[in-house]
Amino acid sequence: MLDINFLPFQKLQSERLVLRRVVKEDVAEIFALRSDQEVMKYIPRPLLKTEEEAIAHITAIDEKIDSNEGINWAITQKGNSKLIGIIGHYILKPEHFRSEIGYMLLPEYHGKGIISEALKEVVNYGFEVMKLHSIEAIIDPENIASEKVLQKNGFVKEAHFKENEYYEGQFIDSAIYSLLNKY
């Protein structure tokens, strides 16, 4: 089984981005992300209604890092510490050397290659630092933009589950994409 320790927290950098720890000062941006119907369209979770709920979300992110149960980074642009998105290993399966990755980005930053750039760093962290064997992403099959990002970054479709989740009175499908550590 993997022995994962996220502390001290590691910042990640790419050509245009700095991935840093999410902090309480990000509350307005977390609220903007998690309360935006377009951002949350393919994520079966309730929209945030208050900044207090955003603070609770930040606290939950911190607790997962501190307990080594998951890690998320704030996506920021170099030279500007404002959070524009979140990316991370949301769910760990250490007994299987596998994690589930997830990401979201404020709409005004869509289509600029930011998620792909951040994803490369987070995948590398997963394989090099966490010593994962595989990383999965579970998406709504209708989320074509996310599917394209995953495929562009080497993820392969493993499964399409029909109506396997029940959310807000309806059954929804899930698609699983994965990437194996080839190192």
Read off the CATH number of the domain in which 142 is found.
Answer: 3.40.630.30
Residue 26: pLDDT over 70: yes
Flag whether 7 is in a domain: no
Q: Are 103 and 119 in contact (CB under 8 A)?
A: yes
Q: What is the pLDDT of residue 1?
A: 81
Between helix 144-152 and helix 114-128 the angle, nearest 10°, is 50
Mean pLDDT of the chain: 97
Q: With respect to residue 32, please indicate whether it lies within any of the assigned structural domains.
A: yes
In a domain, 143, yes or no: yes
User: What's the farthest any 2 CA atoms get from each other in the chain?
Assistant: 44
162-172 confidence digits (pLDDT tens): 999 999 999 99
Q: Using one digit for the tens of pLDDT, what is the confidence trace for 90-107?
A: 999 999 999 999 999 999
Structure tokens at 117: 């750039």
pTM to 2 decimal places: 0.96
Structural domain of 159: 12-180
Q: What average pLDDT does range 17-30 have in this prediction?
A: 98
Per-residue pLDDT band for 183 (boundaries 50, 70, 90) equals low
Strand order in the sheet with 71-77: 12-13, 17-20, 71-77, 80-93, 98-105, 134-139, 170-180, 156-167
Q: Is the pLDDT of residue 83 over 70?
A: yes
The total number of structural domains in the chain stands at: 1
Q: Could you give the CA distance from residue 173 to residue 16 in angstroms, rounded to a whole number?
A: 34
Q: What is the pLDDT of residue 48?
A: 98
**pLDDT of 79 above 70:** yes
In a domain, 58, yes or no: yes
Residue 1 belongs to some domain of the structure: no
CA 154 to chain centre: 16
CA distances from 174 to 38, 156, 163 (A): 18, 14, 7
In a domain, 95, yes or no: yes
